[in-house]
Structure 1
Amino acid sequence: MARLSGRDPSLLRRINSTAVLRVLRSHFGRAPLTLTDLAHATELSRPTVEGVIEGLVDAGLATEAGEEQPGGAEHAARRGRPARRFRFRAEAGHAIGVEIGAHRIAAVVSDLTGEIAGSVTQDVEEDAPAAERLAQAHTTVAELIRVNAVDCGSLRAVGVGTPGIVEADGTVRLSTALPGWTGLALGEKLRETAFGCPVIVENDANSAVVAERWQGAAEGAQDVVMVLVGLSPGAGSLIGGRLHRGFGGAAGEIGALHLLGREATPERLLSTTDEPLHPLDETAVARVFALARAGDERAERAVERFVQRLVHDVAALVLALDPELVVIGGWASGLDDVLGPLRAELERYCLRPPRVALSVLGESAVATGALRLALDEVESELFSVRLD
């Protein structure tokens, strides 16, 4: 193991560079900083800061701000040369978040501060084979890059959210939603054929809960469960603000709870006929909820059965994790009538019922969370000191 030592000048340069870059990044969007400002903020000497800044400018991560002086050039001349000021170059790189789902591919791109520049969504057939779905993902990202005039060389990381149990290396160990997805080395294939930068692959519900904490219903919350409601629901969890994946990446797979001796599958619970719904037929599910709201008795009974099963699944997570907040997303986003029964039933089943809220980000949650994971990878590279 490498040992920290003040005698290693390269290590000291990395530490100093990281300290200055962190300050510049934290001040992005505010007034540019002088060398003196940076020296005070980092507690480094001014000559050290000046040397670091030169390196950051050469690397394209910092730039000198324009010399804008009140009163024009004559006023500036009387005062002498103004202090040089510097800012973080958010445009120096980009990150992309991608959702590869059953019915669509969605992609979103941002600069290095997370400011979203644009998004693209394309439909995909639910029975599309793996190779076709991957090709569609490449096409969607290429369109995103083209529309937003992003230089491919500026890509720093790509995050991908997808249904299934995903291992740490980006291999999909199990996915019942997407044909040919089980066993697919998704991260490796995307790194080799598409992006030329780090690719982080995560379960879709895990990506969604990260997104809701970043800029959605769970902002500021530390212990959160997010449920992507569907006929095979999944959940993502944050414990102490950190994503909980479980030992093998299978945490939150509550869609498997119906296998524990229950007679009725979710597809039958929400059916208003004698035939089960197709597990991926979101339109049919929305139609049942719409009929229930309109007063159709059979649909009302179906929704009641489904919500009761959902409550049991969510209650299992709540009792195990004791979250402060449960966020409901997936195709249930916008179906506010789910929340009332869910809150009431959790009151009955849970020792300390959590707050329950609807997703703020809706359909964009998975791609947005994947983007946040990509940005985390970029920030780890930029702002951490690695020991060689």
Structure 2
Amino acid sequence: MGRLTGGDPSLLRRINSAVVLHALRAATAAGSGDGSRTPGAATLTDLTRVTGLSRPTVEGVIDGLIGSGLAVDVPAEEGGVRRQGRPARRFRFRAEAGHLLGIEIGPHRVAALLSDLDGRALGSTVREVSEKASADERLERVRGSVADLLRRAGVARHSLRAVGVGSPGVVEDDGSVHLCTALPGWTGLRLGERLRRSFRCPVLVENDANTAAVAEHWKGAALGSDDVVFVLAGLSPGAGSLIGGRLHRGFGGAAGEIGALHLLGREATPEEVLSTTGEPLNPLDEAQVAGVFARAREGDARARAAVDRFVRRLVHDVAALVLALDPEVVVVGGWAAGLAGMLEPLREELARYCLRPPHVALSLLGEAAVSTGALRLALDHVEAELFAVEGTVTARRAGP
């Protein structure tokens, strides 16, 4: 990297700090590999070579990072063989200097995932909650779950640097829920604001299918693919998509709401599609829905017809999104993804209707997809702060 000179000195210092921190973090994660350096550490010479900055500049930045707790001297004895003379100073990035949370808030459960500043998981928790619980009850369950997780991990609440949250519904930029039919009292809820009161750190709220799409792209079935559609399959399916590796939310955060496509043709509602009695199903009663699939496998004619309707509806909804976005990969998650016979009909029908059929895969993260994606949102925010060069970062839905 070429040496930077001139311009605003304070801006130059921030740029130098971001460059050195980025190099130190990469060296810490990569380790040695050649036996010449302490694994997970870097010398001033290493950092000078990688950044192209002068040695005094790098040393000044490192001292500042040590003062802020983001870097630490590595004792010479950790380097293995001792050489004669004064050993070179070695440093590592302190991933333990702060912590991140990824939270899922769903109809039947809340889940939380805790990590360090490198995104390494340190613990997780899952607690059941009634689909009839009020917004206050659900949020209290979230707070209790997080408190228990932090206590078990030995992590202080004030060390949290950011919290990501995945929630059903159309989520606005400020973390408010514009519309949600899955959770009682959720429409109009200022979710981000409510949670910021508890955590006293940036809180990033996103639609659950969107966070799951981010998760599968990070460490799931869409790893290595930048054009991705994630389908949260259920009675009223939702979808999240990444275009060119970036989450696509749409103008108002409602991109991917494929569960509303039936309204275009005024067809049966999602609750009626799987009904075998003429009475709508409760869309949140997963056991009732699973029972229809079980009877279909046993040969019940009405149940088989209902399942066929469900599969056709899901294929129709997903195909519309695939034709519009042309993804490389479609990842199917949600409770319906685990039902027998779901994936192959989807592959076959997408091959019929789509000009270039995508690869169709089952979620690798399963029930952990939403909390994992929420954690990635928190990590993205902190990385933007750590490597910012303008002094401040204004994160979408992050708050003060």
Q: TM-score, normalised by structure 2?
A: 0.92
Structure 1 match to 2:36: none
Does 1:305 pair with 2:309? Answer: yes
Which residue of structure 2 aligns with residue 100 of structure 1? Answer: 105
1:202-221 alignment, distance < 5 Å: 202-221=206-225
1:139 counterpart residue number:
144
Residue of structure 2 in register with 1:55 after alignment = 64
Spell out the pairing of 1:147-186 with structure 2 (5 A cutoff): 147-186=152-191
SS at match of 2:15: helix
Amino acid at match of 1:138: R
1:261 shift after superposition: 3.0
Q: Is the 8 A contact 2:28 2:42 kept in 1?
A: no
Mapped to 2, the partners of 1:245 and 1:7 lie a distance apart of 37
Q: Distance in 1 between matches of 2:79 and 2:352?
A: 65
1:124 paired to 2:129: yes
What does the per-residue CA deviation read over 1:306-349, in whole Å, with 9 as the maximum and x for residues that have no partner? 00011110011011111111111010233352010011111111
Choose which of 164, 181, 202 in structure 2 pairs with 1:198: 202
| Structure 2 residue identity aligned to 1:326 | V
Task: After superposing the two structures, state which structure 1 stretch, 252-261 or 231-240, moved more.
Answer: 252-261
Matching residue within 80, 86, 91 for 2:91: 86
Partner SS for 2:86: coil
Q: Which residue of 2 aligns with 1:296?
A: 300
Distance 1:356 1:134 in 2: 35
Residues 19-34 of structure 1 aligned to structure 2 (within 5 Å): 19-29=19-29, 30=31, 31=39, 32-34=41-43
Which amino acid in 1 is paired with 2:62?
I
In structure 2, relative to structure 1, the CA distance for the partners of 1:63 and 1:119 (3 Å cut) is same
Residues 70, 312 of structure 1: CA spacing in aligned structure 2 closer, same or farther, 3 A cutoff? Answer: closer
Cα offsets for 1:24-50 (capped at 9, x unmatched): 111223121100000000001111111
1:387 deviates by 4.9
Distance (Å, rounded) in 1 between the aligned partners of 2:224 and 2:319: 23
Unaligned runs of 5+ in 2: 32-38, 393-400
Letter in 2 for 1:337: G
Counterpart Cα distance in 1 of 2:186 and 2:16: 44
Alignment partner of 1:284 is 2:288: yes
Q: Secondary structure at the match of 2:76?
A: coil
8 Å contact kept, 2:99–2:162: yes
| 2:49 maps to 1:40 | yes
- Which residue identity does 2:45 align to in structure 1? T
Query: What residue is the counterpart of 2:395 in the other structure?
Result: none
Give the superposition deviation at 1:97: 0.4
Give the secondary structure class of the aligned counterpart of 2:382: helix
Contact 2:337 2:343 in 1 (8 A): no
User: How far 1:69 sits from its partner (Å)?
Assistant: 6.4
Q: Deviations over 1:4-34 (max 9, x none)?
A: 9834222111111100100111122312110
Calculate the TM-score normalised by the size of structure 1.
0.94
Query: What runs of 5+ residues in structure 1 fail to find an aligned partner?
Result: none
- Whether the 8 Å CA contact 2:18–2:386 is kept in 1: the answer is yes
Residue correspondence of structure 1 range 346-357 to structure 2 within 5 A: 346-357=350-361
Q: For the Cα contact (< 8 Å) 2:168–2:182, is it kept in 1?
A: yes
- Native 8 Å contact 2:209 2:240 kept in 1: yes
Is the 8 Å Cα contact of residues 336 and 358 (structure 1) preserved in structure 2? no
**What is the DSSP-based 3-state SS (H/G/I as helix, E as strand, rest coil) of the residue aligned with 1:357?**
strand
**SS of alignment partner, residue 96 of structure 1:** strand
> Pick from 245, 250, 254: which aligns with 2:249?
245
Give the residue type in structure 1 aligned to 2:326.
D
Q: In the alignment, which residue of structure 2 is the partner of 1:260?
A: 264
Residue number in structure 2 paired with 1:10 = 10
| Cα distance change of structure 1 residues 294 and 82 upon mapping to structure 2, 3 Å threshold | farther
Letter in 2 for 1:262: R
